[in-house]
Chains A and B, each alone.
Chain A
Amino acid sequence: MANLRVKIHNLELENPVMTASGTFGNGVEFDDFINVDNLGGIILKGTTLNVREGNDYPRMAETPMGMLNAVGLQNKGVDYFIKNIYPSVSQYKTNVIVNVNGSSIDEYVSLAERINELEKISAIELNISCPNVKQGGMAFGTNCVMAERVTSEVRKVYNKTLIVKLSPNVTDIAEIAKAVVAGGADSVSLVNTFLGMAIDAERRIPMLSTVTGGLSGPAIKPIALRMVWQVSKAVSVPVIGLGGIMNATDAIEFFLAGATAIQIGTANFIDPQITVKIIEGINEYLDRHNFKSINDIVGGLQM
């Protein structure tokens, strides 16, 4: 068995497999299927300062090798999170990370301050890339100046590991990555979903209530992989890769492209046990190729 331990700034992961926000609920929904503590970490459903009902139904459309979603950050707000969800997720031994969303810099900062007080939460993932909200979200993640500013303001109040989740809906994702690192990010995770749309030709209507939504699944994997490769060459902080990972081979490709850790997203919907299967598969790969540690293959693409 190879050593699977990786480090994301101060965050120590038993293995490099985490779950993508919005695809893993608060972890407890998976307790019937897997031992959540076997994962490197879990990233909870996106939290906002106030309650959000999210967008109208329909919020999902199946597409070839993927799906579009337009959930719109439905959640009960940070007060509810602290009172009702935090006590149960605190029971996990694995790393628990909160995904933080705001419609203004003040909101991001207030949220980060609140989460900073929670002992069990070892990091936040600053989501500046949600494509499904009218205000904030992706607006911060598609502009270098805004991306750097929101990161640096949160940095002032948050003293644990700060991960910034990047949007792929930009001309040059490496520039955005450099901006958030300049703002104080300890790590970047990429990619969030790609803005897309689906149409019901027979009825001549959009498939989503919001017309456009975020595309995820294996359909986006080659683009996500390319972006992870570009970003890992552009910044010196650890990169967390995600986007259409469905099996251990996909995961290995992200490590080779430069990711120190990965997140599993949409695949959780198809197979709620996929995360533990991917950990086993990574182990098997490292053994088969005689690598002693996962770190030996990070950025190990042979050119």
Chain B
Amino acid sequence: MNKTVCDLIITKQTQLNYNNFLLELKCPEIIENIKPGQFINVQVKDSSKTFLRRPLSIHNVDYSQNTISILVKEVGEGTSKIVHSKVGDSLSVVFPLGNGFTKSHRGKKVLLIGGGVGIAPMMHLSRELNEDGCDVHILLGAKTKEDHILIDDFSRYGTVYITTDDGSLGVKGFVVQHPILDGNVQFDHIYCCGPEVMMRSIAQRAKSLNIECEVSLENMMACGFGVCLCCVTKTKEGNKCVCSEGPVFNINELEWQI
């Protein structure tokens, strides 16, 4: 669908753990053809510190209800105002922004990796890849057991693997240390979203295993649609805007020393 600015009504607000919230937003216009990996840019009301909109991944889409959901981690004043909005409140949103992940074909074995709140776009992606007949595997990493959310929801769309930094759930260590990535399982495609240090380690592993890999970047941005040129990342074709030319990049495009 074309990019638009509109007021979305909050129809559900669920606190998932101590700092993560799931919001369901109903759109007055018909939403269509939103790609996994695209994002929305939300205006924060009543916050003198928060001048710019806050870019947030689209977590899932329900075309039958004309709703999208967003997974938001409460970090600063901006995200705090957003997650503590009430059902019935409206949020001014610019969307859908950015390019999504590329699709994989039926029968392909795909691994989706989410670290921390980087799991946000993976629900929409895992659902669509599952519907498209891919063999979906999902690796979720977080600091502790308390930080892990939505595991049951993810398991509807694929086989879920877990890591925690402290070993309180699943394999102890970072996602890159999970045995699923030791090279014995041959994946056709890896999709990754999380802290940049994590994505770089996954990119390095994917490259050494010769697996196609896409990462979703999260640079600071002002506009969200490619005019301010603030959120650039270095690529083989020069600086590119993460907002309008990403946020998803194939690792071969990026100037990452991997």
Contacts and interface: CB of A to CB of B under 8 A. Distances in A.
A16 interface: no
Nearest to B52: A62
A270 B52 contact: yes
A58 B230 CA distance: 7
Contacts of B252: none
Interface residues of A, number: 33
B43 to A, nearest CB: 7
Contacts of B171: none
B163 interface: no
B232 interface: yes
Which label, helix, strand, loop or mixed, suits the secondary structure of the B interface? loop
B227 A29 contact: yes
A31 to B, nearest CB: 9
B81 to A, nearest CB: 14
B220 A58 contact: yes
A67 B52 contact: yes
Interface stretch (A19-27, A107-115, A253-261): A19-27
B51 A268 contact: no
Interface residues of B, number: 32
A64 B51 contact: yes
Contacts of A64: 48-49, 51
B3 interface: yes
B233 interface: yes
Contact of B52 (A30, A45, A269): A269
B91 to A, nearest CB: 14
A104 interface: no
A67 B239 contact: no
B239 A69 contact: no
8 contacts: A25-B227, A58-B219, A64-B48, A65-B48, A268-B227, A269-B53, A269-B228, A271-B43
B208 interface: no
Interface of B: 2-5, 43, 48-53, 92, 94, 219-234, 238-239, 244
A217 B51 contact: yes
Given A57-B232, A60-B220, A23 B227 contact: yes
Given A53-B239, A69-B228, A269-B222, 9 more contacts: A22-B229, A23-B228, A29-B226, A58-B230, A60-B222, A69-B222, A71-B228, A268-B223, A268-B227
Contacts of A45: 227, 229
A45 B223 CA distance: 14
A209 B223 CA distance: 19
A270 B94 CA distance: 9
B232 A74 contact: yes
A170 B92 CA distance: 38
B223 A269 contact: yes
Q: Which of A65, A268, A269 has the most CB of B within 10 A?
A: A269
A66 interface: yes
Contacts of A222: none
A272 B97 CA distance: 13
A269 B227 contact: yes
A29 B53 CA distance: 18
B227 A63 contact: no
